[in-house]
Amino acid sequence: MKILNLYAGIGGNRKLWGDKHEVTAIEINPEIAKIYQDFFPNDKVIITDAHKYLLEHFEEFDFIWSSPPCPSHSIIRKVTHQQNKPIYPDMKLYEEILLLKHYFKNSWVVENVVSFYKPLIKPFECGRHYYWSSFIINNIKIESRMHDGTIEELEKFKGFDLSRYKGIDKNKILRNCVEPEIALQIFKMAFKDQQQTL
């Protein structure tokens, strides 16, 4: 199966998908792309704009996972408006959802944080995250969630050892990392034998 992993980061969502698939990861930051490639040497990693790549290549894949940048949508940004000037929410999030919903014939997921506004398109909600998809997402089991903590705690929880990497914001990278167990549950839901589609 050909999988497109957009805004791949270090590969939190992809960590538990196994190696049976042909995964193409798109990440614009070369340092983060290098870390992803170290963890997933068999994946094809392309350093480019994920939003543009999606539009140009979406028809080539069997499954697409997109995790567009979340800062402009985040409740945290709104709560800390004294420190952060207001900015427009990045509508690329909804552009991707609409493109996939109306033009992509296979399974897809778009993930983002719970927003400070009512979502323009109704998502599935799980903890601090929204998920839009071509299939029904339900009954996600969350044993314990860790979003904050020491770098060592986050590394252990997310399953990534970043100790050999220098000059990067490990805390931010790990906080941005989709929780592997949740991503695996969603991935499996996409390919149930009798999948319920929307």
Which structural domains are found in the chain, ordered by start? 2-140+183-190 (3.40.50.150)
- pLDDT category at 194 given cuts 50, 70, 90 is very low
pLDDT tens across 11-41, in order?
A: 999 999 999 999 999 999 999 999 999 999 9
83 DSSP 8-state letter: T
Residue 98 CB coordination number (10 Å):
14
> pLDDT at residue 82 above 70?
no
Phi–psi pair at 67, nearest 5 degrees:
-125, 75
pLDDT tens across 87-131, in order?
A: 787 889 999 999 999 999 999 999 987 777 788 889 998 877 889
Q: Which two tokens stand for residue 40?
A: 């997933």
Kind and range of the H or E run holding 76: helix 75-79
H runs (alpha helix) in 84-194: 92-103, 151-158, 170-175, 180-190
Residue 13, pLDDT score:
95
